[in-house]
Chain A
Amino acid sequence: MSRDTSLFRHPHLAVLYVLGFLLLAEWLFPLPQFTDTGYVLVFLMLAGFFFILSAIPMSTWLRLPLVVLAILVSLDVIFFTETFMSVAWWQTFMSEAVSQGNLLLTGEWQTLSPMFRTLLFMIMLMLMSFLIYYWVIYVKRILFFFACSVIYVAILDTFTMYEGSWAMIRLVVIGFVLLAYLKLSRLSTVYANISWRDWTRWSIGTTLVIFVAGSVAFFGPKFSPQWPNPVPYIQAAGGFGEGYSTENRRIGYGEHDDRLGGGFELDESPVMYAEVEDPGYWRGEAKHIYTGHGWESEQHGEAVEEQGELNLYEEQTDVEENEATLRYTPYFQTRELIFAQGEFFEATSAEQPLNYYVDAISGRIEMGSGYDEEVGMNLSYREAEFSIERMQEVPFQEGDAGDPEGIELRYLQTPEELPERVTELAAEITSEETDRYRAVRAVEDHLRNEYEYETEDVPIPEEGQDYVDQFLFESQYGYCDNFSTAMVVMLRSQDIPARWVKGFTPGEEVEDGTYQITNANAHSWVEVYFPEVGWVPFEPTPGFNNEANHAYTDLDLSDSPDLDDRDVPDPLEDEQLDEGDTNEEEESAAVGSSNADGGLSPVLIGLISVMLLGGIIVFFLRERIIINWMKRKHQDIQSTEQFQRAYLSLLWLLRFTGFKRNKYETLSEYANRIDQRLDNENFTRLTRQYEDLYYGKERSSITDGTNEQYHQLLRDVHSRIAR
């Protein structure tokens, strides 16, 4: 490749090359949609650089350092805080390279660091650009890659949240240009003297066609999908739905909730083990900005306190101090966070000093660097006993509830575009209630009773559609994210301060007092603020009970008819939940939508690589695959009909493998030509039979030896291809 100037000798190939780059770009655009990378531009520029590099003739000794330099610069942009190429920079880089290289060698793919994964991805980008160069310039084929791109976008569109419509339109336009361009270059070989005027007219005509087709595609009415979403079927057929134990899947406890919706996958990889007497929900953090399609939390650095405490309950609430031991597994994506039950106030470790920061607003507890994930943690926290009576004293609809200003400011937010009917529904449900507690319970009960719990095929709201509105009025089924978000939004619409909380359910007791919590236990619920009580958790998702946080001290059940249809927690129920209902609980587990750390998921890289590799293998073995298929299909030719079919597919195979029949060639001329190349007579013999059947009047039966001739011919073609 080094001293090749073919791109410059054939400027028309440069256009194809640019189109190739655009196609590659289509592969990169979706990355932020289903990975956490925010650096698509870097990848694009890098790929562009590689493309230019492949096209410029130069010696390998110059090319290689340039490639390395480009990769290092890109890594620096994405990951490094140190000055580029400084001593510290090199130290970080080398230690990373050594440790990750070891992981690579030992096959511990899941634990690779984001930087190293990104490095691998960049190397793949480089290979891709060289490969496309090879395809365009030497093989002069790009349609295969084009087809791959279309399939890729279609798959992403179907199976992920990626909205592929625009990409498809772009691809169609690229495809048109490609087609027109290939046609043009073919024309120019046939008609040598095409003037510039002709070129111009051709380009104008082509552009017009592309523009019109593109516009029609864009503005014209589009059919909704003509068949049901294939994902559930595929999952069912592939046995995914359950017991699927690949670590590092994009489920469980994620950091990004700004776009909720869609079905989700289960993953039973254990993320932590907890030793606790009284199991309850493990609280991760609360989010309070509802955007219409998900949750966000504001950046509030001033609220972060080192070695701080959580403040969930007001002074008047009775609390009881408790302790638990928590140990994270390496598969836990967000192991820099501390999860606690109730109101956390201290974490220690016998093995090393623990350094953590508490965000007083969200309740997020993040550990400082240098923490060895696998050591155990002793957590101290306060569990509250909420007084129902006190909660019922908070007025609803009439009178001042007495919420502090800061609470009102933050926790009553709803998006401006929130559809009116959500508010109307909430008002209708709570119309008869006069205190906040009953109003909250009314909404909770409504959600628990009127909506279906469903994990598969949960729709993603369309652009401009509200997530809650879509759940409440259209699909009417969903999982924990749907229920909890809907409850928060409905409460807020009635001026009840509420927030969205995520964490884990108690998990399964594996030993006495030890609970195993997996990714599938990830969950989300609701906290409602009551003056003089604090933040009280509620559980709107059917099939789940947050009994640990609900201690009804002063409760007289007969006083509260509203609570009757709600499952009152008892030990039996608890057991049922742990054993019988585990599936249900697990299936509601996905909180958030994507994995935690930056860079690219190795699963994704693996998937793309496997697809690419598979595509390439199929491409190169296509003839062999077809021949083997034909061998099986036409194993035993008995009737004339079978023979006709076999012969016609033979014609097709030969055309496909480059032994094309010219249209003016008669079959026997063709057969003769092929036989001479294959040094045999089988094709001619078969052709005579076929002629007899096709041009003749009587349908004679097939002769002996037809099978042998046919299969010998297939073998000959096969070995011919192998050469």
Chain B
Amino acid sequence: MTQPNLQIQQVIEAVEQVVIGKRETIKLAVIALLAKGHVLIEDVPGVGKTMLVRAISKVTNAEFRRIQFTPDLLPSDVTGVSIYNQDQQTFEFRAGPIMGNIVLADEINRSSPKTQSALLEALEEGKVTIDGETHQLQDPFFVMATQNPIEHGGTYPLPEAQLDRFLFRIKMGYPTEADELELLSMIEHGHPIDQVQPVIHVDDLVLMQKEVPAVYVDGAVKQYIVSLVRETRQLEGVELGVSPRGAIALMRASQALAYVEGRSYVLPDDVKYLAPHVLGHRLVIDTDLLSTQSEDAEKIDRVLRKVSVPTASKDFVR
């Protein structure tokens, strides 16, 4: 019946050559890319976060930039700065690292909130304004931010409003024993990232991004999304549930997933599969302690179990 989108499959497989055993994470990243969303990866250092982003940019032939967030990083270090050119006697814009297609914002919670918000504004607006001058960001523009688990010291946790701007929050996790073994064998004689070849052009990516909103979402599925989101607002121990922005994000992501699967319509399965990734980080827990990812996932799971999946409606069978 429906066949998965072939180009996307190639992308995923190519990335998988480098990032062993993380197919699901890769797929989620690609979905976010297609849905014009951004991804927050929360995990300990050294599990392949950077490699994932690099591989994706290489496979899609996109321009890769990396920003290492440190406590002394300034907003202009992210967005770029206007420098006075004495030869031409003008201010000249020096683009910051954000002016790439795929940007890795490493350890985003290590820098000050001011710098963080500079990045996150760019995420939302798709452009940056420096000295009154607006600069359009590249198309496609995809940010993959990583952050250390919150319990680590020396971090500025991202405010809720900022977390909301990420489409997904993903956890990579340690590889399995077999995968780790394979990883070693693979790295033994040089890094495979150097061998990775582009499989699609960046322009194709832009085209695909435009096709995603054309995926059909039935009223019943929309209802399901809304029910899920509303249910999060009833959750025990949750101060704020998911915002309408979250509902939009869930629908868009589901469309992208359906697109990846080569389907012209969204299934409740898509919604259900993505809900923990889309909704988990949008919950505001009413304790002093910030919740961990797994706690959020458990809460979303409770929501999923409460809401019934639409399977038939009265006017359906005529």
Contacts and interface: CB of A to CB of B under 8 A. Distances in A.
A668 B308 contact: no
Interface in B228-270: 264-269
B221 interface: yes
A694 B306 contact: no
A186 interface: no
Contact of B264 (A641, A663, A669, A696): A696
A662 B317 CA distance: 22
A697 interface: yes
B1 A666 contact: no
B317 A666 contact: no
Interface in A667-709: 667-669, 688-689, 691-692, 694-698, 703
Contact of A664 (B2, B218, B221, B307): B307
A651 interface: yes
Given A641-B318, A663-B308, A666-B309, A696 B1 contact: no
A604 interface: no
Contacts of A703: 1
Interface in B281-318: 304-309, 311-312, 316-318
A66 to B, nearest CB: 52
Nearest to A663: B308
Interface residues of A, number: 24
Nearest to B266: A695
A436 to B, nearest CB: 76
A648 interface: yes
Given A641-B318, A692-B1, A666 B308 contact: no
A405 interface: no
B137 interface: no
Given A645-B317, A696-B218, A667 B264 contact: no
Contacts of A698: 264
Given A666-B267, A668-B269, A695 B317 contact: no
B135 interface: no
A7 to B, nearest CB: 36
B1 A688 contact: yes
B220 interface: yes
A708 B268 CA distance: 27
Nearest to B219: A695
B272 interface: yes
Nearest to B301: A664
Contacts of B264: 696-698
B305 A696 contact: no
B316 A666 contact: no
A351 interface: no
Given A688-B1, A692-B1, A695-B220, A664 B306 contact: yes
Contacts of A692: 1, 265
Contacts of A648: 312, 317
Contacts of B317: 641, 644-645, 648
A416 interface: no
A667 B316 CA distance: 16
A443 B220 CA distance: 77
A697 B266 CA distance: 10
Residue among B1, B304, B312, B317 having the largest count of chain A Cβ atoms under 10 Å: B317
A674 to B, nearest CB: 14
Contact of B216 (A644, A662, A696): A696
Nearest to A689: B1
B271 to A, nearest CB: 9
B222 to A, nearest CB: 11
Interface string A365-389: 0000000000000000000000000
A665 interface: yes
Given A641-B317, A666-B267, 16 more contacts: A644-B317, A661-B311, A662-B305, A664-B306, A664-B309, A666-B268, A666-B309, A667-B311, A668-B269, A691-B267, A695-B266, A695-B268, A696-B216, A696-B264, A696-B265, A698-B264
Interface of A: 641, 644-645, 648, 651, 661-669, 688-689, 691-692, 694-698, 703
13 contacts: A663-B308, A664-B308, A666-B272, A666-B309, A667-B311, A669-B269, A688-B1, A688-B2, A695-B220, A695-B267, A696-B265, A698-B264, A703-B1
